[in-house]
Amino acid sequence: MDLALSGVVGTGGHATWTSSWSGFMLSYLANLVVNGTKTSSSYKMVHYNACAKALQEKYGIVRSGDQIKNHLKTWQKKFRHICDLRGLSAAGWDEDTCTITLDAEHYNNHVKDHKADADFLNKPLEYFWKMHTIFGSTMATGQVCKGLKYTSRYRG
């Protein structure tokens, strides 16, 4: 097997993920929610395995159901952090572009102390609605993300 195709090159055996692969995984799992297949607060291993198979068929990469599950946990942490950032006192929200907005002064002050947050502020959050579809109703994130107007914003 070509290790470059499997996504494990140079990572000590840990799977690497491209944005396209992550987006596909999120779309696949969000569709399970939209179609009513996922009815509880968590996916079953059969869902993770099916997603891994679909990734292999579409991109030719090898992933296990456990790797899908672990990668989803990474995205769940990102979503929780995004919800926390949306709760910043000076933060605005552009629902059309899924952007947490801060004016220059607040942005600079915040990023000075929280450099990693720059990835989430004043930039469109590409997979926000997919994450909201998957995690939005099952996470205890306060009212910030639960209170969003959700009308079928998810586009699979």
pLDDT at 42: 84
Q: What is the pTM of this model?
A: 0.81
- Residue 94 parent element (H or E): strand 92-94
Element (H, E) at 93: strand 92-94
- As to burial, measured by CB atoms within 10 angstroms (0-12 exposed, 13-18 middle, 19+ buried), residue 100 is buried
pLDDT in tens, the chain (156 residues): 444 444 544 344 688 999 999 999 999 999 999 998 876 778 999 999 999 999 999 999 999 999 999 999 999 999 999 999 999 999 999 999 999 999 999 999 999 999 999 999 999 999 999 999 999 855 554 555 655 554 444 444
Residue 105: the pLDDT is 96
**CA–CA dist 100, 123 (Å, integer):** 7
Cβ atoms 7, 17 nearer than 8 A: yes
> Residue 138's pLDDT is what?
58
Q: Residue 22 has what pLDDT?
A: 98
Residues 82 and 125 sit within 8 Å (Cβ to Cβ): yes
Can you give the pLDDT at residue 116? 96
For the chain, give every domain's residue range. 3-146
Contact 63, 99 (CB under 8 A): no
Note the pLDDT of residue 38. Answer: 78
CB atoms within 10 A of CB 41: 9
Cα–Cα distance for residue pair 78/8, rounded to 1 Å: 22
**In the prediction, which pLDDT does 46 show?**
96
